[in-house]
Amino acid sequence: MNQRRGVIVGVDVGGTKVLAGVVNSRGRVVDVAHRTTPGRRVNPEMVEEAVVAAVLDVAGDRPLRGVGIAAAGFVDAENERVMFAPHLPWQGEKVRAGFAQRLGVPVVLDNDANCAAVAEWAYGAARGADSALMVTLGTGIGGAILLGGRVLRGINGTAGEFGHMQVVPDGRSCECGGQGCWEEYCSGSALVRYAREMLGQGPTMLEELCGGSPDQLTGPMVTEAAAAGDLAARHAFATVGTWLGVGAANLAAALDPEKIVVGGGVVDAGERLLAPARIALGQSLVGTGHRVLPELVAAQLGPQAGLVGAAVLVRRQLLRRERSGLRPGRRRPKDRGARWAWR
């Protein structure tokens, strides 16, 4: 089969799992494969093995045309390396080149939140917005800045790392090495911590779901209990939602976006998360009564947004190469004098 008729695979490499999917030209995920992320304190090759296995699994007998990698970490301005990842072992590794060599096809690398933002602008909640911010709530917090449909990546490639802005001086220690980071108060990990703190303080469905063992409590359990009306679980979501609104107000004060799109697993709770967030946004943002507030909305593409966006980026690159006559595997020179990197 001709390479142009092969499949494009997007991969979302998160702190707990690898999700790979074949993505068609309309942004639809037609097949998926999962692997467990080995963790932060392992050899980087172990993560790479999991990613390659997921890609080959989902592609099956079909030839690969290109692969997009959405990584939960700081990706450099050249889209070559993961410079730092709080929940993964990559620390400056040449991730893109390594996967391109192993898979034998063009590979695009970017931050997972950047990829999710691209997907939401192309097919989801940010479609048509002139300016939008993406905030993804998972193990930690990712973020992205969209202007005119393009991702603002910054001089280091790390614009939009909102999760590690300090919201509580001398607050909780974060895996990044800092203290008081936003993701320590507003993330899937924070949600579970808040719920665990409620155990033993009164009757709650959470006790039944985790078998009385706080260490066994998970985010999906908290979501299930909240949907069933459990007050402790709903309180945990309200706490995360309030911190979401506080952080969103800081972002709105700095960037004044048209929309703030919230993605990640925690957003499955819908209005239980977003309603308190909108209240806190209005209460925390200066001049609320004299300005148009950004629309705070749930992402539409769910947990597949990162891999869809990664596939969009690699498809764009393949189209540019075809139009410019570049051979597969040859990279166009970048403008080294640019102060800001866009994609």
Q: What's the CATH code of the domain at 259?
A: 3.30.420.40
- CB crowding 229-255: b at 16 or more within 10 Å, else e: ebebbbbbbbbbbbbbbbbbbbbbeeb
* Strand residue runs (E) in 112-173: 131-137, 141-147, 150-151
Residues 106 and 230 in one domain: no
Query: CA-CA-CA-CA torsion for 225, 113, 281, 126, nearest 10 degrees?
Result: -100
Give the per-residue pLDDT at 3. Answer: 42
> Are 242 and 145 found together in one domain?
yes
Q: Which domain holds residue 76?
A: 7-115+303-324
Q: Model confidence over 187-237: pLDDT tens digits?
A: 999 999 999 999 988 889 999 999 989 999 999 999 999 999 999 999 999
177 and 254, same domain (yes or no): yes
Check whether 118 has a pLDDT greater than 60: yes
State pLDDT tens for residues 102-117: 999 999 999 988 999 9
146 and 76 share one domain: no
229: in domain: yes
Tell me: do 91 and 136 sit in the same domain. no
Instruction: Count how many Cα atoms sit within 13 Å of the Cα of residue 38 in the half-sphere of its side chain.
Output: 13
Domains held by the chain: number: 2
- Same domain, yes or no, for 106 and 255? no
* H/E run at residue 261: strand 259-263
Q: pLDDT (tens digit, 9 = 90+) per residue, 53-87?
A: 999 999 999 999 999 999 988 899 999 999 988 77
Q: pTM score > 0.95 for this model? A: no
pLDDT digits (tens, 9 = 90+) for 120-150: 999 999 998 999 999 989 888 989 999 877 8
Please choose, from the candidates 185, 107, 110, the residue with its C-alpha nearest in 3D space to the C-alpha of residue 150: 110
Report the C-alpha gap between 137 and 172 in whole angstroms: 18
